[in-house]
Structure 1
Amino acid sequence: MSDSNRTIFTNPSTFILLGIPGLEWAHVWISIPFCAMYVITILGNVTILFIVKTEPSLHEPMYYFLCMLAVTDLVLSTSTLPKMLSLFWFNSREIAFSACLTQLYFVHCFSAIESGLFVAMALDRYVAICHPLRHSTILTNPVVAKIGLVVVLRGAILTLPYPFLARQWPYCRTNIIPYTHCEHIDVVKLACADIRISSYYGLFVLLCRIGLDVILITLSYIQILRAIFRLPTKDARLKTFGTCSSHLCVILAFYIPTLFSSLSQRFGHNLPLHFHVLLANVYLLVPPMLNPIIYGVRTKQIRKRLF
């Protein structure tokens, strides 16, 4: 590792992942909850996909978006967890330069897709509550497919400059990444060049992915709450709001860790490095695990079919 630190190079063939600096002695113990989360993520999301596919009554826009979310969660987890576990269990620290760029692309691309899906699901809840009689005519299957395509293309195109910008910088200081996986900002920080373009573009994507999406979700729920409060009885209000509770829970589980991780990377310079790494892993691992659990517990149709 010390040789890698002293080597002069302009285009490294590999990067070295350190895992969680300062907690190397606990890597095996940390791997146990990480592995458990990965298993739960796979089982939960595959179960959601199977239930929606085999239950005709669930062939509705909300559950189509839920299936897209399940696929996104599976890809997001699989892009990082297998390499992370091999690092913890077998001390497999090396990752090829092109594989590192591919990994960071998948992480950011599918995080953006997941954020876009939450906007699409908020739109579905808005139409279902504010325009219930027109729900089936507004959100038809072709419209849902087009919304899904737009969400995927937005995530893919927004994230596409990341690997190209990272590839163009010269890396002449070190190829050691003090993380468990390749993140865009942590890779470009290793470049011995002015990386302000990458930094500014990363901030722009963050504003689009979190700022714009959160604004759209908030506007949807303002309209939803106005419609709920106009209902005549308390029972009707609680029942209608209950249809949104699962969506609100997964939104909070996704955006809160993502926001804290992104802000801590840019402004939390006094925080311990292992705190940054653990927080980055929380936003990658916890939401994909929680999403199927929340929808399984909170959604009557899925819970009934599961039992």
Structure 2
Amino acid sequence: MINNINIIDTNSNIDEEIEIKLLDIYKYTFIETAFSQRFQDFINEVRLKKKWAIVGAHSRNGKSWCIKDLVKNSGAIKEYNGITRIPVLAIRSPESNNASDIISSLCRCFGTLPKSNNSVLKKWLIDNIPNFGVEQLIIDDAHELNIHHFKFIKWLTDTLELEKNYYISVVLSSILSGNQISVWSKIMNTRSEDWMQQFYERFALFRVVQGHTPQEVAEVLYVYDELYKPFLSQINLIQWSDTIFAWLTHPDLDVHNCRRVAMEHLAKLIYESVRVASIQKMNEIPIDLLNYIAKLHLINRNKLYSTENEPVYKKGNTHKGNPQEANA
């Protein structure tokens, strides 16, 4: 149980410039974690082998962040002679039930969307995927794909091979449902038709990427200590790494009992703690403040706190004992 601590209501506002900088770290700074390395290494391996693959991970681990960073560092370039190379195309699974949105999303990856019907856009893709040197197609949230999307992906790759003698890697990124990769279960359940059986047989590589171990949480906290030190000069989060790991593997967060920490939960806990410490003019984050934020975090893990009228930790109630005494 997380300890009860004294709180007060406050109308204190954090300095706007500091708020912007903290939000920038929280929302827009990509941290190369052990999870991201495992996730990206697998996708890069698949790309080099020109294989089809499915990668799965529990939600809130940062799969989409990893894909965005991977595309950013994939080697896309516009050369001096005007030739553009886009080695990796990455799109999110369309929300509609037809193939039109997936066609449009792929076209937008090239920076433009020709105004035409689907037939013309499909031909445009067949012509330009080889021209732009595309090596891999990644579809995020692939568990939301349906049979119409699968059919288009098969048509696209079949046509590239037949008309252009061109082969690309395909990666479907999906959440896990229990211990099963959701998109793979969907594919297996819809392979009654011959073409779907062929689609099913193309997948050669599979990987489930787990969240962060205690040691990996400590490594991330070391990075956060460096990132947030300009705001809290004596910040030392790494000393509480075991305690934080225990909190963030609470059954309300670790619903699959995998004993791994999701990056989103860790980032949110640290951001909110730094923010409250800044409001209270502290130069460190005491364990009782982390304790309090973790308690709110567990009660409603989807809540982000407003800057006004929020209950915050009372300055001066610093826990000086063993951090394990404050375990969730």
TM-score between the two structures when normalised by the length of structure 1: 0.23
**TM-score, normalized by length of structure 2?**
0.22
Q: If each structure's helix is expressed as a fraction of its own residues, which one has the higher value?
A: 1
Structure with the larger strand share: 2
